[in-house]
Structure 1
Amino acid sequence: MKFLTDINAVSFNFRKSILSFSLLPKPISFSSSPPEPPPSGDSVVSAAVSILKHHRSKSRWSHLRSLITTAKYNRLTPSQFSEISLQLRNNPHLVLRFFHFTLHHSLSSHSLFSYATVIHILSRSRLKYHALNVIKSAVCAFSEPQQETPIAILDALIKTYRICDSAPFVFDLLVKACLESKKIDLAIEIHAILKSKNVLLRTSTCNSLIELVSKSSGCFAGYDLYREIFYVDVENIAGNGKCGKGVFPSANTLNVVMIGFYREGLVDKVEELWGEFLRVGCEPNIYSFNVLMAAYCDDERMEDAMRVWEEMKDKGLNHDAVAYNTVIGGFCRVGDVGRAEEIYREMVMNGAESTCITFEHLINGYCKVGDLDSAMMVYKDMCRKKFSPESSTVNVIIRLLCEKNEISAATEFWRTAVKKHGAVMEEENYGNLIRGLCEEGKMEEALNLQAEMVVKGFEPNSEIYGAFIDGYVEQGNETIASKLRKEMLCKQMS
């Protein structure tokens, strides 16, 4: 399966859903310092702001360090740090440098709330990459065995959201940080907490969450999460696109769920999800069609696959390289290489760029029907285009050469494939080549190949012993043949 998930965001009026947190039921409670301390009136704050705003970059940091170290406690409190940062919020890069400066020189006793201030300031300026890194830094800095740090960070972000005039996707960044560190259960918990407060994550974030759940816990777990997040009641569709307790999924949402079922070979479930597009009023994209076609091709239902192929044309969607490769592979799988060649010619004529996969499908197809000449011709064409075949494709060609008793050609092909492509031979083909060499009386060459086989971790079986015994008997060397029989018997008894 050669599919890449292309997840795009669906825009909606997220900011409107950020309600006044003080009015929301079920507030999150954590034992921590107050999120919005009253201004202290400390002269250190105003002096630090003045230095950061008005001093030249070369001198500001030495002046700032001198100011803080001569203050009452030699360090800024989290409240002081946050006050200074908020007064610099329109210069987020300066805030970030100030934050790293205090960390590097241990000039502030940071808390989750001072981290949250920095995260909000970066988020409101759309500095997502830097905000995400600060979130990850907070997870590391406040990680304790008995504490779910991302939930504590969520609490701090919620309580400081309004005073920092933040951007809604700050919560998406927190979920993304959880997903990147594979804390999937915490990401789901954060989504549930936010949803209880009428704060909705972006569709792209939900898609990523569903995708990871599908990969880690199975496609049905991913589907259940999809149903939970994107609750859709078709009978009560609201004019603003929202319905029930959720929002409508995007095409990419359904693609994520479809690909989960496709990976596990559940074609009927892929078809069921295809019907979901119509049910929720969502238009499938090229990726959607490609997944459905791939499911049919893998199930050798080429008639259904070509029906989807034609439907793409009817909708004005141009077939891309993935679509062509999918159908070519499907026809090769069922042995209809002629039809696969027709699709390949159409691919070339329409200007779609052929890939390594295109040639591998054709090679496998020709090998399947025993057409060695055509398979080798495609292989040579593939090499001319600087493509490197997978080891599995190399092994398919070797297997067919052995079946046609072209052992010398198979051996030479193998040596060339190792040098050019770094191919790795399968255990079965070691046996095929050794048997063929023994039948041709090339015992020394067979022994060298058997030694290479052992180095690769494959032990000789009774068939390989039998090939060597027969080869030595044919040469009249009964002494070695007798030794091999005893060695084979000892291995079988051990």
Structure 2
Amino acid sequence: MAAALPKTSPFRLLSRLRLEEDPNRAFHLFQNPNPSSTSNRRPFRYSARAYDLIICKLGRARMFPEMEVILDQMQRETRFTPREPLFCSIISFYGRARMPAAALRAYDRIPSFRCTRTSRSFNTLLHALLSCRDFAGVRELHRALGSTELGVTPDACTYNILLRACTSLHDARTLFDEMRERSIQPSVATFGTLISALCADLKLDDAFMVKDEMLKSFDIKPNVYIYTSLIKALCKSEKLELALELKNEMLLDQALNLDSAVYSTIIRALFRVGRKGEVVGILEEMKTNGVKPDIVTYNAMIAGFCEDKEFDAVFEALNEMEKNGCKADVFSYNTIIAGFCKEKRWRDALDLFEDMPRRECRPDVVSYRTLFDGLCESGEFGEAMAILDEMMFKGFVPGAGSVRRFVKGLDCEGGTMSFRAALCGLAKQNAVEPDVWEIGGWQYVDGV
């Protein structure tokens, strides 16, 4: 006779749940921890930690119906009260899944578990709705802050999230004033959100006024994020000298860790304004300050050299990347392919494209579209046809404008049956506008 399996204790269940990687098996294990037990045994005593583990496992796996089953079961527990952080996790799971209504329902349900809601869960809900781009829901919660029914006291984090949801600078200013009226001390994140919004609209004078105000009125020093926002906006506005001054200001503050993002932005701007000779000095400064060039830095240089048609320098940059242990990514190669195509050097573009797998970088849809466009622009419709076949095999399609140019060019040379078959394949994927068929005098009917 086979020996009876050892009973699973609440402690043993915790251990098994931690080790179980399959969320579906974990769900069934939780529901029936002792499958061989008799029906007259006492109910299993689940711990609060066991509920936390299974709910988070199911939430991360987006097994929401199963997660709700466990929540219903937990709601009937009387031996413990669930903690608010668990509900914050549930709200976040729904937010990441773009399910704002479910996130709101999870928040509304918290009191039914005898758990008190605080600004922590409210802020989590706000963030979830913002992630879902449910701006109407965010505004509704903002209006509810003024009611006593909500029972939540907003904090700086609350207003930081609300500021991120603002669609106009006027709304952001109004929110900031409301924050002050509630005697809520703004944080560096508050000012960072305001300055980032101003920089996005290139309202640089206002952005610098906010920067001065945070120092003088609140004794809050700008962080790297604020400086980076300002420097990017200055570079975009071609106010490079001011950007360099801010960079030097950062160097004087030992509390700030000047990173490669700032240097990469400045390098890109130097190329754009025709001051590429100063790039070497910036790279030396990076080395002196212990900032290692990363993929963004090298891609900024590659883009600059491509714009200046200095392709030898482009490949020198690629070699330098390899020496420094920085692997070129698909963006790097797409930039070079686009540069070659712009100069009608389609053979060089095609060679690099075909060499990408050897360089351990797989072409993406942008790679194919860029090369296809370049071949069509150069009148190399035979080569473009080959790339189109490969694109379709990989599930990619060119843009509608590229298809039109391709059809016109190939029609002038005399369309082929393989071309018509490819066009039918594109039509199935809605990549061909109806009037394109008229160019070749054909009609698309049921994919044939």
TM bucket by the smaller chain? Answer: 0.5 to 0.7
Indicate if the aligned counterparts of 2:349 and 2:371 stay in contact, CA closer than 8 A: no
Partner of 1:220: 169
**How far does residue 421 in structure 1 lie from its aligned partner after superposition?**
2.2
The residue type equivalent to 1:422 in the other structure is: R
- 1:491 shift after superposition: 0.8
After superposition, the Cα gap between the structure-2 partners of 1:346 and 1:468, relative to the gap in structure 1 and judged at 3 Å, is: farther
Find the counterpart in structure 1 of residue 245 from structure 2: 307
2:262 to 307, 319, 323: 323
Among 121, 144, 166, the residue aligned to 1:173: 121
Contact (CA 8 Å) 2:346, 2:378: kept in 1 or not? yes
Matches within 5 A, 1:124-135: 128=85, 130-133=86-89
Cα distance in structure 2, aligned partners of 1:56 and 1:488: 68
- Write the letter of the residue equivalent to 2:182: K
Alpha-carbon distance between aligned partners in 2 of 1:202 and 1:368, rounded to the nearest angstrom: 48
Following superposition, the deviation at residue 260 of structure 1 comes to: 3.0
**Cα displacement (A) at 1:418:** 5.7
The equivalent position to 2:353 in structure 1, one of 414, 417, 423, is: 414
Q: Does 1:248 align with 2:185?
A: yes
Match of 2:327 in 1: 387
Aligned-residue sequence identity (percent) comes to: 17
Displacement of 1:135 after TM fit?
6.7
> How far apart, CA to CA, are the structure 2 residues paired with 1:156 and 1:229?
32
Distance in 2, matches of 1:205 and 1:418, equals 47
| Alpha-carbon spacing, 1:412–1:138, altered in 2? closer, same or farther (3 Å) | closer
Q: CA deviation at 1:311?
A: 1.8
Distance 1:445 1:230, change over 3 A: same
Paired with 2:52 and 2:377, the residues of 1 have a C-alpha distance of: 68
Structure 2 residue matching 1:421: 3-state secondary structure:
coil
Deviations 1:80-134 (A, max 9, x none): xxxxx9xxxxx9648979x99xx759778759xx89x824xx25xxxx3x24246
Aligned pair count reads 363
Partner Cα separation in structure 2 for residue 284 and residue 299 of structure 1: 21
How many Å apart are 1:304 and its aligned residue?
A: 1.4
C-alpha distance in 2, partners of 1:489/1:58? 68
Contact residue 228 and residue 261 of structure 2 kept, 8 A: yes
Change (3 A) 1:383 1:430: farther
* Aligned residue type for 1:220: L
Mapped to 2, the partners of 1:132 and 1:152 lie a distance apart of 12
Residue 279 to residue 153, structure 1, CA distance change in 2 (3 Å): farther
Larger radius of gyration: 1
CA contact (8 A) 1:226 1:257 kept: no
Question: Hey, what does 1:372 align to over in structure 2?
Answer: 311
Q: 8 Å contact 2:350–2:371 — kept in the other structure?
A: no
- Distance verdict in 2 for CA 1:431–1:457, change over 3 Å: closer
Residues 334, 171 of structure 1: CA spacing in aligned structure 2 closer, same or farther, 3 A cutoff? Answer: same
Measured against aligned partners, the alpha-carbon deviations of 1:17-74 in whole angstroms (never above 9, x if no partner) come to xxxxxxxxxxxxxxxxxxxxxxxxxxxxxxxxxxxxxx99689x999x96789xxxxx
Alpha carbons 1:151, 1:186 under 8 Å: kept: no
Secondary structure at the residue paired with 1:425?
Answer: helix
Is 1:118 equivalent to 2:81 in the alignment? Answer: yes
Q: Secondary structure at the match of 1:378?
A: helix
Alignment of 1:191-270 (within 5 A): 193=144, 200-211=153-164, 213-214=165-166, 218-220=167-169, 223-224=172-173, 226-231=175-180, 244-270=181-207
- TM-score, normalization: structure 2? 0.62
Q: 1:268 to 1:426 in 2, by over 3 A?
A: farther
Structure 2: distance between partners of 1:289 and 1:267: 12
Provide Cα deviations, 1:236-275, integer angstroms capped at 9, x if missing partner: xxxxxxxx42222111111122223434555455344334
| Unaligned residue ranges in structure 1 (runs of 5+) | 1-54, 70-84, 86-90, 232-243, 473-478
Q: Distance in 2 between matches of 1:279 and 1:289?
A: 17
Q: Distance in 1 between matches of 2:160 and 2:128?
A: 14
Instruction: Report the 3-state secondary structure (helix = DSSP H, G, I; strand = E; otherwise coil) of the residue aligned with 2:280.
Output: helix
Provide the rounded CA distance (Å) in 1 between the counterparts of 2:124 and 2:268: 36
Task: Tell me the distance in 2 between the aligned counterparts of 1:151 and 1:93.
Answer: 20
1:276-295 pair list within 5 angstroms: 276-278=213-215, 280-281=217-218, 282-295=220-233
**One-letter amino acid matched to 1:204:** C
Q: TM-score, normalised by structure 1?
A: 0.57
For the 8 Å contact 2:376–2:406, the answer to whether it is kept is: no
Which residue number corresponds to residue 491 of structure 1? 439
Larger RCO (alpha carbons 8 Å, 6+ apart): 1
Q: Kindly indicate whether residue 369 of structure 2 is the aligned counterpart of residue 430 of structure 1.
A: no
Indicate the SS of the match to 2:283.
helix
SS class of match (2:81): helix
**Residue 272 of structure 2: which of 323, 329, 333 is its match?**
333
Return the alpha-carbon distance in structure 2 between the equivalents of residues 248 and 204 of structure 1: 10
Letter in 2 for 1:381: E
* Map 1:458-469 → 2, pairs under 5 A: 458=399, 459-462=402-405, 465-466=408-409
- 1:106 & 1:427 partners in 2: Cα distance? 50
- Mapped contact 2:267–2:297 kept (Cα < 8 A): yes
| Pair 1:305–1:492, CA change in 2 (3 A) | farther
The one-letter code sitting in structure 2 at the alignment partner of 1:227 is F
